[in-house]
Amino acid sequence: MSAARPSRRGIWLATAILALALVVALATVWYNAGQQQRCRQLWGTDALRLIRHAPTVHAWRVAPAGADESMAAIKETVDEVVRFRDADWRLFERREISEARGLSHIRQALSHDRVFDWKYADADGPVIWQYAIRFTGADGRATLLFSFDPPRVAQIENAAIASIAPAAEGFQAFLTEQF
């Protein structure tokens, strides 16, 4: 028996399907790159890559380093003190959240321009940071601070700050759930 040879029409159909798949893939890459343009400027390319793909993710509660003695319990559990814009902040009650429910949504949100209110990028007054998330990979780390009054996110490593007003409830719900 001889093997059936593909018809010309079948070859053209297969070629057209592959070409369409390539066009759709390129359109997807172009669209996603457009959605991350301002975030890439805010975080930097390396930090954005970590936010999207870092294998290890930790969360902390945050308190001002100069807090009074009523925070004695916090002082005993401090994991780290970080400096952001000339102020020291205590990171305490660390949680491993690499597999946390909803983390993929947080990663995506932090890398899409529509989640931020770009008109109010910097805080108008003092910001009291409440939570931190650190994305750690083989090529570095990106540590983000979160405040919900006013709704802001900041990156410690490059001193970037932005308003998360459009998505603040989602970020707050996720972080509160971790503690």
Q: In this predicted model, what pLDDT tens digit does every residue of 18-48 receive, in sequence order? A: 888 887 787 666 665 555 688 899 999 999 9
d(CA 97, CA 32): 25
Q: In degrees, to the nearest 5, what angle opens at C-alpha 73 toward C-alphas 71 and 74?
A: 65
Per-residue pLDDT, 98:
97
Per-residue pLDDT, 149:
87
Per-residue pLDDT, 38:
85
Per-residue pLDDT, 95:
95
Sheet hosting strand 56-64, strand order edge to edge:
78-84, 87-96, 56-64, 131-137, 140-148, 151-155, 160-163
Question: If you count them, how many residues does the chain have?
Answer: 179
Segments of the chain scoring below 50 in pLDDT: 69
